[in-house]
Every structure is written in structure tokens, then in C-alpha cells.
Amino acid sequence: MLSDELRNELLAFRKERDWEQFHNLRTLSTSIALEAAELMEHTQWAKDADLQALAQEHRDALAEEMADIAILLTYLAHDLDLDLGTAVRQKLRKNAAKYPVEKAKGVATKYDRL
């Protein structure tokens, strides 16, 4: 996901501020959800036809919210001793089994209804 160098920089940033004491599964997962909600606020009442223009107009703000989510997720993965890249690969394999191309291509249907 993030480079080892950037991950280490994030961890050093947190350590220098002694913020590990405030981070656990509950606080980090809650913060991730809150940051995701802040990301959604940018499009909450927008029409689908306006989303592309809105994404360009709010590009910097969207990037900041996405960065907040990535930072918090990096902290959580580190604290739980999880390799995020491995977790993503495993989930991708599961999704490939649940959503075979021949059934899922071009369809926005949940796997249990394909």
C-alpha cells in the first residue's frame, strides 16, 4: 500500500507526539469511519451528473480526506501487526471467487444474487 519509507515516517510522526496512547482498535476504526463520512460530505447532495465536475472542484479537499483515511488505516494495520498488502490480495482472491467475470461483468449486483 504505502511505501515502507512513508509508513515509517507516519509512525515516527505519531511517536514523536506520543499519540500511540490514544490509538487502539476502537479509536482508530471510529476515526476511519468519521474521515470516510467527511469524504462523503463533498457529494452528499450532489447529482450524479455533477460528480465529475465536483471531484475536480474539490480535488484537494478530497485528497486530504483520503490521506487521513490512509494514515489512520496505516496506524491500525501496524498496531494489529497486519500486512495491509497481504490482506488486500487475500480479499481480492475472495472477491474474484464471489464475483466471477462471466457473472459479474457490468453488473452491480451483490454476489449472493448473481
One digit per residue, the tens of pLDDT, for the chain of length 114 reads 899 999 999 999 999 999 999 999 999 999 999 999 999 999 999 999 999 999 999 999 999 999 999 999 999 999 999 999 999 999 999 999 999 999 999 999 998 899
Q: Name the CATH topology of 4-82.
A: Helix Hairpins (1.10.287)
- The average confidence (pLDDT) of the chain is 97
**pTM more than 0.75:** yes
Q: Is 17 exposed, middle or buried (0-12, 13-18, 19+ CB in 10 A)?
A: exposed
Domain-wise residue ranges, the chain: 4-82
Query: What number of other Cβ atoms are within 10 A of residue 76's Cβ?
Result: 19
